[in-house]
Amino acid sequence: MSYQAPRGTRDILPPDSERWAEIEEQARRILGAYGYREVRTPIFESTDLFVRSVGESTDIVRKELYTFTDRGDRSLTLRPEGTAPLVRAYLEHAALRQENPARLAYLGPMFRYERPQAGRYRQFWQIGAELLGSKEPAADVEMIDLFVSIMRAVGLPDVTVLINSLGDAACRPVYRERLREYFTARLDRLCGDDAERVKTNPLRILDCKVPSCQPVIRDAPTVLDTLCDACREHLGAVERGLKSLALQVEIAPRLVRGLDYYTRTVFEVHASSLGAQNAVGGGGRYDQLVKDLGGPETPAIGFSIGTDRLFMATSEARGAASVPAPDAFVVARAPEAAEEALAAARSLRGVLDPREDRPLRVMADVQQRSASSQMKVASRLGAKIVVFVPKDDDGYGVRDMIEGKDEMKQPSLESLRSWLRDRRRAAEGAR
């Protein structure tokens, strides 16, 4: 019997896992710099939360939820997105509502039962941020700028922002009706799903990916003709704000995004390295969602970045990653010294030293191998230095594996550690 990762999922192995950690670390650094604080919500929530927020007419709710009943007969769903859980937490905990607006963030896996294809997984990761409590265009500008800063921090300077407005309660119904009229007259040229969408939510049709639907979609009326003055003004202010930050921004009048809760601003961010079709992520304003979920009137905006996409987009820029080599490998000269080798490795790393912010990478054998086998292992791992235990009267033996020569013996582990640190610093300076 052999097992494989479930269809549509995959294992992230080193060195990819190390690059993932680096991307998340950069994202956390930028989120912190903008004043956004992380909230870790559960992986699953009550199913109702997603049905009510994401929307019953969306593909996500109709076809893609991972829903199960637990032993207490509760209907639970693996989170397909991060905004609804964060809004739920925002309403549940007064501490999150102390600051107005609240600036919150999340990083973690999401789950959607989608058809697996290149770069699309059933468990995928997102980095997201939400700004709750402001209706002003400045909030939209800050959000989009934050998104772009994260992209730049991970090495994607070449970014285009597409923005659109979906209107509000005053003008969106007008647009919806206009679309319904237009698409109803052309149903014979649309796919079966669209026939359903005309009834439930004709805006969804703009998001249809079926190739034969595209000519009809391309000629559909744009929202820009039906926006009310307030929405038009808002969109204009967001565009001006982004341009004043020297961001490359385009109005994309048919951009809708796949969630029902968006109002006014929606946006997508594209990296040139992924090609025109591939957004790294996007987001939008959701001025009604907090209220819809039982809270007070709270205009808000958020985004999510597809970490998988971000990883793909940065891979090409970087080339192959190297395996991190140990700074040192401790060799036990005889089997009796095996325990001492572990203890020496531990103190050379410096992980228990509170002043050490970057421990050395030091390894030792745990297989009771002979000294010569240990040397081979050290060499295969690319260890720069081998340290021999136990020490003799002159101190610890040290061998430079790269130069292939013995170094001066070191009288103590303390002196050995500072010698290793100096070497690492010198090597980094030389690079």
Query: Which residues of this chain interact with Zn ion, rule CB under 5 A?
Result: 167-168, 170-171, 191, 194, 208, 210, 213, 228, 231
Closer to Zn ion by Cβ: residue 170 or 185: 170
Asked if residue 390 lies in contact with residue 336, where contact means CB atoms within 8 angstroms, the answer is no
Asked if residue 79 lies in contact with residue 43, where contact means CB atoms within 8 angstroms, the answer is yes
Q: If 0-12 CB within 10 Å is exposed, 13-18 middle and 19+ buried, where does residue 358 land? A: exposed
Minimum CB–partner distance for residue 210 and Zn ion (Å): 4
Closer to Zn ion by Cβ: residue 32 or 173: 173
Q: Are strands 395-400 and 362-364 parallel, antiparallel or unpaired?
A: unpaired
Closer to Zn ion by Cβ: residue 86 or 205: 205
**According to DSSP H, which parts of 272-411 are helical?**
289-292, 307-318, 338-349, 371-380
Helix (H) or strand (E) holding 149: helix 137-153
Q: CA of 48: how far to CAs of 51, 52, 61, 79, in Å? A: 5, 6, 10, 11
Closer to Zn ion by Cβ: residue 151 or 213: 213
Closer to Zn ion by Cβ: residue 63 or 318: 63
Nearest-angstrom CA–CA distance, 388 and 377: 14
Minimum CB–partner distance for residue 197 and Zn ion (Å): 8
Minimum CB–partner distance for residue 267 and Zn ion (Å): 17
Minimum CB–partner distance for residue 168 and Zn ion (Å): 4
Minimum CB–partner distance for residue 253 and Zn ion (Å): 15
**According to DSSP H, which parts of 172-219 are helical?**
172-184, 192-200, 214-218
Closer to Zn ion by Cβ: residue 129 or 171: 171
Minimum CB–partner distance for residue 285 and Zn ion (Å): 12
Q: Residue for token digits 């490359």?
A: 248
Closer to Zn ion by Cβ: residue 231 or 279: 231
Query: Tokens in use for 1?
Result: 């019997």
Minimum CB–partner distance for residue 355 and Zn ion (Å): 58
Closer to Zn ion by Cβ: residue 78 or 217: 217
Closer to Zn ion by Cβ: residue 193 or 407: 193
Backbone phi, then psi, for 100, in 5-degree steps? -130, 115
Minimum CB–partner distance for residue 116 and Zn ion (Å): 21
Minimum CB–partner distance for residue 213 and Zn ion (Å): 3
Backbone phi, then psi, for 47, in 5-degree steps? -55, -40
Degrees, nearest 5: CA angle 216-217-223? 130
Q: Residue for token digits 């921090």?
A: 153
Q: CA of 419: how far to CAs of 48, 137, 276, 342, 402, in Å? A: 60, 56, 51, 19, 16
Nearest-angstrom CA–CA distance, 271 and 156: 7
